[in-house]
Every structure is written in C-alpha cells, then in structure tokens.
Amino acid sequence: MSLDPTIREANFRDSIIKHFVDNVESALSIPVLFDRELITPKIQGREVDTWCAVYFGGMEIDSVTKHQITFNSCSKMDNEGFKLAQTRDKIMGTFFDPSYPNNVIPTILYRSYPAPTEWAIIARMLPYLIWESGINKAEDGTKFKSSLIEFRWGAKG
C-alpha cells in the first residue's frame, strides 16, 4: 500500500528544494545549501559573502499536515549585519507579501515522484513563521540568523 501524495515526505522535500532553487537561488541570486553545516559555498571557485542553508525538520500528519524547515540566512565580511538582514528579508519575501491575503504566499506542494520531471501540483501549503533567532556568529566569522517556518496544508493522512 502506498502513501497518499499529500503526505509523502519526499514530495514535501522536493517541493521545498524546488521553491528555494527557483525563487531564492535563481531569482534572487542567493546560493542555497540543503542539510549542510554552515560552510561557505563557492561559485566558480570563489567564496560568496551571502547565502542560505536549509534544514528539514519534523512532520505531523493529520487532516491539516504540518512540516517544518529551518533556514539560516548567512553572511561573511559583514561588520554591521546589513547584508545578513537584506538576505533574510529577500528570502522571507518568497513566503510573505502584503499583497496576498493574510500576507502569506502559498507555497506549492508538488508530486515529484515517480519521475522528477512530473511536477504536478497536489496542494498549496501555507507558511507560518514560528520563530527567529537573533544574529549569531560562527567561529569563522560567518554571521547567521535562523528562521523556523512551519508549512500547513490539507492532506489525506
């Protein structure tokens, strides 16, 4: 017996990766890493000074299914944290916009399985900002701010 597409974790993960690749990396030119430590990515052999690191959290299956992600907005060579704030704001703008009802942009849940070329829309997820950290600093001088977003959508659980 197979799981309904609305509660497949693989569909959620692929959809979030697609969202960040399409809307953050491609559209905003902010490099994105998935499930990796705070390492500075390199583009054409050169380290970048702003980027985003995405981590997948837990999933709660119900008629309204919930799944969390944490993303770190990151910057280097940023004494006052201005680049960090700009990076965070740009990424948040892919989820929240005052021109949408309740300021929330629905994020698409795609069916990416069985073939990754079949991006069929199966639901629209609503993002909720649950928590944000203050500015943190890693040993290598990287500044980062963590944002926890929970996505909720109707599912057949």
What is the spatial distance between Cα 85 and Cα 152, in angstroms, rounded to a whole number? Answer: 26
**Which pLDDT score is estimated for 2?**
79
Does residue 1 carry a pLDDT above 60?
no
Query: Which 8-state DSSP code applies to residue 102?
Result: G
Give the pLDDT of residue 156.
83
Residue 119 has pLDDT above 90, yes or no: no
pLDDT higher at 14 or 47: 14
Architecture of domain 5-154: 2-Layer Sandwich (3.30)
Residue of 37 and 96 predicted with greater confidence: 96
Distance, CA of 116 to chain centre: 19
* In contact, 106 and 125? CB cutoff 8 Å: yes
Give the per-residue pLDDT at 76. 93
pLDDT (0 to 100) of residue 38: 64
d(CA 55, CA 43): 21
Q: How many CB atoms lie within 10 A of CB 78?
A: 19
Average pLDDT over residues 42-68: 88
